């Protein structure tokens, strides 16, 4: 019998994926954690019925959330990743030779452990000695830090359940405090077509806290119909300060052309802001 997974996009749109195999399924204290296998998109992490990442196209999202801020910073050494328990973002951060420390703050230990076992292409990097994994609340962790990080990356799930506080102004105020004087951050900020109000709210909150702020997009087929957004706030460095992409990194999505055009936005998104 065929098993179909249905993800709700809006009240009126649902997307269906045929599941080849369920590799892991467990209710953690925070959410339902599943790892399944699809035909075209391969193994995938699913949290509370929402696909977080798939082997097929994870590189697009993880490269864009990590390398855009890391190349704008002039010498990123200490990085925090909030959420991102699958390890994909940390894997990208570690590609920068200046990195000395990466603190991964993922509230749900079950996510980290299941990804280590079933998504080693992403979570294998968590064994790197520069990485510290903290299974605690990202909001509280950030609140306790001051002037410590060069770059903070908020690789959260959607603004429901455990991630809700990570889309609110008080969190971005704490992010500002946790960054060094020339620090910057990026957050995943959802779909411009289906979450326009959230994007507007997040953008205006960040604008009140950080002197420099940008929104950028990438097409991540797994997530949604249309593009996906990321919002970046910076204390000092502007997009023009970005170091040029080093082609020896051999990324699969990010390259010199993508870097040059990262912040070009279609008119409807400009108007949204
Ligand atoms: N490291 C991957 C973490 C993923 N973070 C973003 C997840 C967003 C998933 N929601 C997509 C909703 C659209 N259907």
Protein residue with least CA distance to atom 9, ligand 1 = 52
pTM equals 0.97
Whether residue 111 sits in one domain with residue 178: yes
Tell whether 98 and 210 lie within a shared domain: yes
| 43 and 158 together in one domain | no
Do the beta carbons of residue 209 and residue 176 sit within 8 Å? yes
104 and 183 share one domain: yes
Residue nearest to atom 6 of ligand 1 (CA): 157
Judgement on whether residues 50 and 111 belong to the same structural domain of the protein: no
- Nearest-CA residue for ligand 1 atom 1 is 84
Whether 164 and 264 share a structural domain = yes
Is 137 in the same domain as 251? yes
Q: How far apart are CA 8 and CA 62, in angstroms?
A: 23
The per-residue DSSP string of 77-128 comes to -EEEEEE-TTSHHHHHHTTSTT--EEEEE-S-HHHHHHHHHH-HHHHGGGGS
Q: How far is CA 142 from CA 82, 120, 177, 220, 246, in A?
A: 9, 27, 8, 28, 31
Q: Is 53 in the pocket of ligand 1 (CB under 6 A)?
A: yes
Do both 168 and 37 map to the same domain?
no
Measured CA to CA, the distance from residue 83 to residue 78 in angstroms comes to: 17
**Structural domain range at position 204:** 58-272
- CATH number of the structural domain spanning residue 46: 2.30.140.10
Q: What is the pLDDT, as a whole number, of residue 163?
A: 85
Provide the domain count of the chain. 2
Please state, in angstroms and rounded to a whole number, the distance separating the CA atoms of residues 181 and 188: 23
54 lines ligand 1 (CB under 6 A): no
CATH of the domain at 95: 3.40.50.150
| Sign of the alpha-carbon torsion through 184, 98, 102, 52 | positive
Both 117 and 250 in one domain: the answer is yes
- Residues facing residue 14 across a β-bridge: 8
The verdict on 126 and 259 lying in the same domain is yes
Q: Which residues of the chain have pLDDT under 70?
A: none
Catalytic residue among 155, 182, 201, 264: 155
- What is the per-residue pLDDT for 1? 81
In this structure, are 39 and 92 located in the same domain?
no
Q: Are residues 45 and 111 in the same domain?
A: no
**Does residue 246 have an active-site annotation?**
no
The answer to whether the CB of 7 is under 6 A from ligand 1 is: yes
Q: What is the pLDDT of residue 158?
A: 94
Task: State how far the Cα of 72 lies from the Cα of 214, in Å rounded to an integer.
Answer: 12
């Amino acid at each position: 019998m065929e098993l179909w997974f249905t993800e709700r996009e809006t009240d009126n749109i649902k997307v269906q994926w045929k599941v080849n195999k369920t590799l892991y399924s467990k209710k953690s204290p925070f959410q339902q954690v599943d790892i399944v296998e699809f035909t075209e998109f391969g193994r995938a992490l699913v949290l509370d019925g929402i696909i977080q990442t798939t082997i097929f196209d994870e590189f697009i999202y993880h490269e864009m959330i990590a390398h855009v801020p890391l190349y704008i910073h002039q010498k990123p050494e200490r990085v925090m990743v909030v959420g991102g328990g699958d390890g994909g973002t940390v894997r990208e951060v570690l590609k920068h030779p200046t990195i000395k420390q990466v603190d991964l703050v993922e509230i749900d230990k079950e996510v980290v452990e299941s990804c280590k076992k079933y998504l080693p292409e992403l979570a294998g990097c968590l064994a790197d000695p520069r990485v510290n994994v903290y299974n605690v609340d990202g909001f509280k962790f950030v609140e306790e830090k001051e002037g410590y990080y060069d770059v903070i990356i908020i690789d959260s799930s959607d603004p429901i359940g455990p991630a809700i506080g990570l889309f609110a102004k008080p969190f971005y105020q704490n992010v500002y405090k946790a960054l060094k004087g020339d620090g910057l951050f990026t957050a995943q900020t959802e779909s411009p077509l289906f979450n326009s109000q959230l994007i507007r709210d997040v953008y205006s909150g960040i604008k009140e806290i950080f002197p420099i702020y940008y929104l950028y997009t990438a097409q991540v087929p797994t997530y949604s119909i249309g593009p996906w957004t990321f919002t970046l706030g910076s204390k000092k460095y502007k997009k023009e300060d970005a170091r040029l992409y080093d082609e020896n990194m051999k990324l699969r999505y990010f390259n010199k052309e993508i870097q040059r055009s990262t912040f070009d936005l279609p008119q409807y998104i400009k108007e949204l802001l």
